[in-house]
Amino acid sequence: MSLTQNEKIRQVTETTMVIGVDIASETHWARAFDWRGLELGEVISFENSAEGFQQFTRWASELAMNEQKDHVVVGAEPTGHYWFTLAVYLQNNGAKLVLVNPYHVKRSKELDDNHPSKSDRKDPKTIAKLVLEGRCIEPYLPEGLYAELRVTMNCRWRILRELTITKNQIQRWLKIYFPEHKTVFGSFTGTGSLALLKTAPMPNDLVELGPDGINKIWRQMKLRAVGKKRAQRAYEAAKNSVGCTEGSTAAHMELNLLLEDYDAKLRQYEKIMVIVTALCERLPEVAELLKINGVGLVTVAGILAETGDIRRFDSPRQIQKLAGLAITENSSGKHRGQVAISKRGRAKLRASLFRAAISLAKNNAEFRSLHHYYTTRANNPLKKKQSIIAMSCKLIRVFYAVTTKGCAYDPVKLLADIHRNQPQKAA
Q: Domains in the chain and their CATH numbers?
A: 5-132 (3.30.420.40), 147-276 (1.10.287.4070), 284-419 (no CATH)
Binned at pLDDT 50, 70 and 90, residue 79 comes out as confident
What does pTM read for this prediction?
Answer: 0.87
45 in Cβ contact with 56 (< 8 Å): no
| Closest among 310, 260, 265 to 285, alpha carbons compared | 310
Q: How far apart are CA 182 and CA 234, in angstroms?
A: 10
**pLDDT at residue 422, as a whole number:** 57
The torsion region of residue 91 among left (phi > 0), alpha (psi -120 to 50) and beta comes to alpha
Name which residue leads in pLDDT, 343 or 401: 401
| Closest among 184, 169, 173, 192 to 248, alpha carbons compared | 173
Name which residue leads in pLDDT, 427 or 20: 20
φ, ψ dihedrals at 148, nearest 5°: -60, -40
Q: What is the pLDDT of residues 148-168, one digit of tens each?
A: 999 999 999 999 999 999 999
Q: How far apart are CA 403 and CA 39, in angstroms?
A: 46
Q: How far apart are CA 114 and CA 10, in angstroms?
A: 28
% helix, strand, coil for the chain, step of 5: 60, 10, 30
Q: How far apart are CA 263 and CA 358, in angstroms?
A: 29
- State how far the alpha carbon of 198 is from the alpha carbons of 193, 208, 217, 258, 406, in Å: 9, 16, 11, 10, 52
Q: What is the pLDDT of residues 6-35, one digit of tens each?
A: 989 998 999 999 999 999 999 999 999 999
**pLDDT at residue 410, as a whole number:** 87
Average pLDDT over residues 322-350: 80
Q: Which amino acid is at 339?
A: V
Binned at pLDDT 50, 70 and 90, residue 291 comes out as very high
Q: How far apart are CA 97 and CA 75, in angstroms?
A: 6
Q: 330 in helix, strand or coil?
A: strand
Residue 58, pLDDT > 50, answer: yes
Name which residue leads in pLDDT, 63 or 106: 63
CA atoms within 13 A on the CB side of 382: 15
Average pLDDT over residues 240-264: 95
**pLDDT at residue 425, as a whole number:** 43
Average pLDDT over residues 62-77: 95
